């Protein structure tokens, strides 16, 4: 059985196909396990419907964020005193200690600060391939999210992106980002 192994060199990920599954020693000395090359395998529609994404933890401290998503807004928490932005939401400002927190509505634009294409272990609640990105918003804070509407090999650090809210199932909408032509990336 063939297997796929990914190695990282600087900011480049390289795919290596090897003849069999198992353990091997990487060049950096780590012991790695290969995974089956099932990139041609697809799940049936019944199996997809039976597996939902994990639910976010919604509390009184994060409710404003999720209410914003249902209204089509990306709300970022802000200290009312020093105006620092935070994500994920916090109980009190880590800079000035104030409990008086509000939010601002993000314009939903930013650049990819970092990203990864998860490949192992494969979880039934996700459609592969997919990209998880750390997006630096124009407001200055960062948000961990999915990068959509682009092939994983086309994603790059500094790529301009824009907000899109996706209904992942009947009960869950999530903020995701897609390429935004015409925006200038940050360096």
Pair 111, 135: CB distance under 8 Å: yes
Count H helices, E strands: the chain? Answer: 2, 13
Q: What pTM was estimated for this model as a whole? A: 0.70
Q: Are 85 and 77 in contact (CB under 8 A)?
A: yes
Tens of pLDDT, residues 25-69: 444 444 444 444 444 445 455 454 457 888 888 999 999 999 999
What token pair was written down for 55? 């639910």
Q: Each residue of 85-134: pLDDT tens digit?
A: 999 999 999 999 999 999 999 999 999 999 999 988 888 888 889 999 99
For the segment 70-84, the average pLDDT, to the nearest whole number, is 96
Each domain of the chain, given as residue ranges in start order, spans 1-38, 63-105
pLDDT surpasses 70 at 183: no
Residue 117 backbone phi and psi in degrees, to 5? -110, 100
């Amino acid at each position: 059985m063939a297997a796929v192994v990914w190695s990282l060199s600087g900011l480049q990920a390289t795919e290596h196909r090897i003849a069999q599954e198992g353990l091997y020693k990487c060049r950096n000395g780590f012991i790695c396990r290969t995974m089956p090359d099932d990139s041609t395998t697809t799940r049936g529609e019944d199996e997809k419907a039976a597996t939902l994404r994990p639910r976010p933890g919604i509390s009184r401290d994060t409710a404003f964020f999720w209410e914003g998503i249902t209204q089509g807004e990306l709300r970022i928490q802000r200290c009312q005193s020093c105006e620092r932005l935070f994500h994920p939401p916090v109980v009190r400002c880590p800079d000035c200690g104030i409990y008086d927190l509000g939010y601002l509505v993000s314009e939903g634009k930013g650049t990819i600060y970092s990203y990864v294409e998860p490949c192992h272990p494969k979880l039934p609640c996700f459609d592969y391939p997919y990209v998880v990105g750390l997006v630096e918003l124009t407001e200055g804070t960062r948000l961990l999210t999915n990068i959509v509407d682009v092939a994983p090999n086309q994603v790059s650090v500094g790529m301009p992106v824009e907000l899109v809210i996706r209904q992942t199932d009947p009960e869950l909408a999530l903020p995701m980002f897609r390429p935004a032509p015409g925006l200038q990336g940050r360096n």
